[in-house]
């Protein structure tokens, strides 16, 4: 890490004192840390504290020529391997979402091409306000990595969602992002996403709650790491990721055909789709009119797409997801064995704010030897990176 530069932006929150720990941990890893304090942050922590930790000048004012940088926001924006804003207030999140550049930090962020990480910290009401959520969604869309906030004790004395994520988690994520290379160049990755629709009649279908976010995050992450990505997508309202070949399907049968057609060229198959296990035996050509009190539908099994790819040759690395409501690890491991997978990503879909439809996911990654890596609640973009980290490691072996 010794040739890396991280710009640490600190904004005006009571959690600003924890940014000192973030600066310290990054510095101890040999990273060059350039600190920018907003005016509000200087009321909570002093520039001298960060200067003492990082041994670098601290920027607090766009118009003071205190540092080695000539036009600071441009120079720092270019020098940064990564920018982290920790803590990030509702105010800075709104400014970044709106493209406002009225101080050193916002100017630097707007001018950079480096990856950006933010760690929000604020009162629960401010965090859950629809405006803040809309702004965060905009930053996610622009590939910002968002860490936390977590549930816990807040400065107000109450307990709720809005607490600053642990500094060690922020530092781990930064190091993960910094060490990532274009390590999937030349690799073909086949990914499935979203929930299949099994038609009953021209109006109705059997479906599930998958939004496609997990599969789409995997596709974007694999693309960014240099892979050629084919994304077989069941219906979703998500925009198609740029630079990814998307194959639209509706049903489990269509997804199965698309996977069989594409798999021979794949180095890695990742099935994040929620595939219907059953579909109606008969699809009615006309809308079924309501008549009796009861309507009994007869269903039949759909193909188990992942299991069917077990014997294919050449054999790609095969990764499945397991969405479980009970006995998470035992059930997921059973699926790994039944489908002869290299990895399974176990999803406890009962955790609030995780799994189906959510922006975050809390998963455990299980390999063939039974080794279990339990991850905290992370953005799906970060879960995607962690899954790909494991895939890259397995390919290398």
Collect all residues with Cβ–Cβ distance below 8 Å to 347 and sequence separation of at least 6: 321, 322, 323, 324, 328, 354, 355, 361, 362, 363
Q: Can residue 269 be called a binding residue for ligand PMT (CB under 6 A)? A: no
129 is catalytic: no
Q: Can residue 212 be called a binding residue for ligand PMT (CB under 6 A)? A: yes
Q: How far is the CB of 193 from ligand PMT (least distance, A)?
A: 6
Interface region with ligand PMT, contact rule CB under 6 A, candidates 2-10, 33-41, 182-190, 209-217: 209-217
Q: Can residue 347 be called a binding residue for ligand PMT (CB under 6 A)? A: yes
User: Helices 104-111 and 90-98: crossing angle, nearest 10°?
Assistant: 40
The binder of ligand PMT chosen from 210, 251, 381, 385 (CB under 6 A): 210
Looking at the Cβ atoms of 214 and 229, the one nearer to ligand PMT is: 214
Instruction: Give the residue ranges of DSSP H helices in 99-202.
Output: 104-111, 124-128, 130-141, 167-179
Residue with tokens 């509702």: 90
The binder of ligand PMT chosen from 24, 25, 251, 302 (CB under 6 A): 302
Q: Can residue 277 be called a binding residue for ligand PMT (CB under 6 A)? A: yes
**Residue list 239-258, contact with ligand PMT (CB under 6 A):** 252
Task: List Cα–Cα distances, 137 to 131, 142, 161, 228, in angstroms.
Answer: 10, 9, 17, 26
Collect all residues with Cβ–Cβ distance below 8 Å to 352 and sequence separation of at least 6: none
The binder of ligand PMT chosen from 36, 272, 365, 387 (CB under 6 A): 272
Q: Can residue 360 be called a binding residue for ligand PMT (CB under 6 A)? A: no
- What is the spatial distance between Cα 238 and Cα 222, in angstroms, rounded to a whole number? 17
Q: How far is the CB of 304 from ligand PMT (least distance, A)?
A: 4
Instruction: Give the residue ranges of DSSP H helices in 66-118.
Output: 72-79, 90-98, 104-111
Q: Can residue 273 be called a binding residue for ligand PMT (CB under 6 A)? A: yes
Contacting positions for ligand PMT (CB under 6 A): 194, 210-214, 252, 271-275, 277, 302, 304-306, 320-323, 335, 347, 349, 355-357, 361
Q: Catalytic residue numbers? A: 208
């Amino acid at each position: 890490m010794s040739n890396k530069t991280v710009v640490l932006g600190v904004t005006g929150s009571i959690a600003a004192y924890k940014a000192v720990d973030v600066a310290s941990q990054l510095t101890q890893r040999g990273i060059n840390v350039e600190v920018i304090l907003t005016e509000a942050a200087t009321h909570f922590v002093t520039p001298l504290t960060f200067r003492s930790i990082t041994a670098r000048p601290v920027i607090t004012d766009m118009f003071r020529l205190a540092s080695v940088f000539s036009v600071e926001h441009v120079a720092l924006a270019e020098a940064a391997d990564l920018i982290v804003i920790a803590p990030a207030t509702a105010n800075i999140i709104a400014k970044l979402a709106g493209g406002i550049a009225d101080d050193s930090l916002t100017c630097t962020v707007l001018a950079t091409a480096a990856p950006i990480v933010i760690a929000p910290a604020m009162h629960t009401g401010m965090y859950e306000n629809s405006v803040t959520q809309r702004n965060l969604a905009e930053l996610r869309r622009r590939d910002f990595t968002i860490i936390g906030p977590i549930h816990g004790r807040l400065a107000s004395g109450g307990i709720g969602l809005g607490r600053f994520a642990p500094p060690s988690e922020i530092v781990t994520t930064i190091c993960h992002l910094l060490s990532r290379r274009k390590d999937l160049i030349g690799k073909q990755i086949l990914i499935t996403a979203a929930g299949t629709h099994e038609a009953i009649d021209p109006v109705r279908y059997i479906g599930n709650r998958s939004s496609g976010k997990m599969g789409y995050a995997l596709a974007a992450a694999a693309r960014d790491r240099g892979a050629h990505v084919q994304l077989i997508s069941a219906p979703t309202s998500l925009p198609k990721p740029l630079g990814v070949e998307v194959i639209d399907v509706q049903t489990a049968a269509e997804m199965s055909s698309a996977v069989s057609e594409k798999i021979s060229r794949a180095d890695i198959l990742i099935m994040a789709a929620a595939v219907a296990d059953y579909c109606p035996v008969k699809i009615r050509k006309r809308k079924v009119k309501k008549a009796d009190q009861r309507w009994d539908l007869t269903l039949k099994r759909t193909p188990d797409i992942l299991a069917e790819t077990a014997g294919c040759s050449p054999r790609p690395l095969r990764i499945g997801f397991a969405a479980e409501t009970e006995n998470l690890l035992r059930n997921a491991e059973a699926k790994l064995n039944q489908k002869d997978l290299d990895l399974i990503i176990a999803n406890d879909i009962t955790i609030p704010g995780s799994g189906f439809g959510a922006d975050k996911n809390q998963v455990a990654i299980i390999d063939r030897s039974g080794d279990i890596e339990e991850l905290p609640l992370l953005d799906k973009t970060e879960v995607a990176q962690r899954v790909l980290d494991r895939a890259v490691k397995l390919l290398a072996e």
